[in-house]
Amino acid sequence: MEKSLPPIPAKRYFTIGEVGDLCGVKPHVLRYWEQEFTQLRPMKRRGNRRYYQHHEVLMIRRIRDLLYDQGFTISGARNKMQELVQSERDKKRNGEVMLDGLDELEVLEHEDAPDDAFDATPNDVPAHLKFVHRELCEIRELLSLHA
C-alpha cells in the first residue's frame, strides 16, 4: 500500500533532512539521485550543505513514484524524467498550461469531497492520478497562501 507523504510546507528552501522526511527517502539516496538525474540540482552553500526548492521536492517525489511505485529502473526513470521535462518545455513553448490527467481528475473530484477522498477510493482512481491530484492540491494550497 502506498504510504501517504506529508504536505510540502510553504517555504523557500528545504534542507536535505527535511526533503528526506517530505519524500520518504534517506539523505544518502537523495545525494545518489543527484548524480543520476541531471535535472535535480539543489543549491549548495556553506560547507557544501544542500538547499532544495519547492519544485525540486516535487521532482524528487516524482522520481520516487517512478522508482518505488511504478517499478522503473534508474535508467528508465531517468529517461522518463527527460521525456517529462521535454514535454513541459514543448507545452510552454506552445502556450499550453493544462497538466495531463487534470480533466479526468476534475470529473472524478466532487466539490464537497475532502482532499484525501482519493486515498479512500483506491479502486476507483489509478495510483498515478492520485499522485498528481495530491501534487495539484499542494500547489493550489501554496498559491492560495501567496494570493
CATH class of 1-95: mainly alpha
Question: pLDDT tens, 47-91?
Answer: 989 999 999 999 999 999 999 999 999 999 999 999 988 888 887
Q: What is the pTM of this model?
A: 0.61
Question: pLDDT tens, 88-130?
Answer: 888 778 776 555 444 444 444 443 444 444 444 445 566 667 7
Q: What does the H/E/C string look like for the chain?
A: CCCCCCCCCCCCCEEHHHHHHHHCCCHHHHHHHHHHCCCCCCEEEHHHEEEECHHHHHHHHHHHHHHHHCCCCHHHHHHHHHHHHHHHHHHHHCCCCCCCCHHHHHHHCCCCCCCCHHHHCCCCCCHHHHHHHHHHHHHHHHHHHHC
Domain regions of the chain by residue span: 1-95, 98-147
Indicate the pLDDT class of residue 147, thresholds 50, 70 and 90: low
